[in-house]
Amino acid sequence: MDLAEIFRVMCRRWYVLLPGLLLTAGLTVGAWLVVPVTYESQSTVAMLNSRKGAEADGNPFLSMEPSLTGMADSLARNVNSDASVAELKTQGMREKYEAKIADNAQGPLLWLTVTGQDRDAVLAGNKTLMAFTAQRLKDLQADQKVSPDAMIRITTIVPPQDPEPQVKSKVQYLIMAAGLGIVLSLVATFFAEARRRAKDRAKARAAAEAPTEAAEAGRDADADAVDDDEEDLDGDRAAVPQQLDQPTVQLPVLPVSERRPAKRPPSWAK
């Protein structure tokens, strides 16, 4: 089936295709209105060397050792743990969040991302997450009895950004709904075409078989007539007297009154 045939089928079954497309358009518009917009706010923090470690040059940004990157990874895993999620919920944070090492980072940088449907709540949640991350860093070092001067510090590189609407996911849902509706409409159209063609083939087959059946019925009638004639002939043969089959035939005897008088012998015969 080529494109021309597909177009002809769509034109013939427009009464199936058109309602499906209209329903798809309605579902797409409804999905756009129903699916909420998601907002996202992101901030960036960096791990700094301890005060004691930065005394040599007095600039903590010049002494970012590789061990700080390992500490940033450990801190991100701790903040993303279930225990941290439960603790943040007690502080009133209901939005989803994520802490991870920044992509293509050249140092111990962490991305703190908060997503939600309430713009103001997302921004407040990011600020809460930043404070919680700084506190978790102190708690992890305090558990190891690290002196305050030797503790790794955290600083803000990018403050919480204004929440931006994330329409990508919403558009993806709309594309999926529209694509599914179009596919179902086309399937229904070609299903209706297939059923119609099946009925047409059945009618054509029935019309082609009708003369054949009539001819077979005629042949059956002729055969029945021949059989009847043969049965009649057999009956006539059975009605012939059996005497005709015997080797001798008995002639009828005439009555005495009908017998002729016997001739007298001539006189010279004496």
Q: Is 104 left (phi over 0), alpha (psi -120 to 50) or beta?
A: left
The CB density around residue 28, as the number of other CB atoms within 10 Å, is 18
pLDDT in tens, 169-214: 778 888 888 888 899 988 988 888 888 888 878 878 888 776 665 5
pLDDT beyond 50 at 243: no
pLDDT one-digit tens code per residue, 77-100 = 999 999 999 999 999 899 999 999
Query: What single DSSP character describes residue 116?
Result: E
For residue 70, what are its two tokens?
A: 């390992």
**In degrees to the nearest 10, what's the CA dihedral of 35, 180, 172, 122?**
20
Write the pLDDT tens digit of every residue in 3-22. 788 788 888 888 888 888 89
Helix extents (H) in 91-166: 119-143
pLDDT per residue over 113-146, tens digit each?
Answer: 999 999 999 999 999 999 999 999 999 999 989 9
Residue 219, helix vs strand vs coil: helix
d(CA 142, CA 147): 8
CA 199-185-11 angle, to 5 degrees, is 60
Question: pLDDT (tens digit, 9 = 90+) per residue, 42-76?
Answer: 999 999 988 887 777 778 888 777 888 889 999 99
**Whole-number Å distance between alpha carbons of 110 and 130:** 10
Cβ distance 60 to 54 under 8 Å? yes
Provide the residue type at 51 as one letter: R
| 256 has a pLDDT exceeding 60 | no
CA atoms within 13 A on the CB side of 194: 7
- Residue 142 is encoded by which pair of tokens? 């305090």
- Helical spans, DSSP H, in 80-166: 82-90, 119-143
Residue 60 has what pLDDT? 83
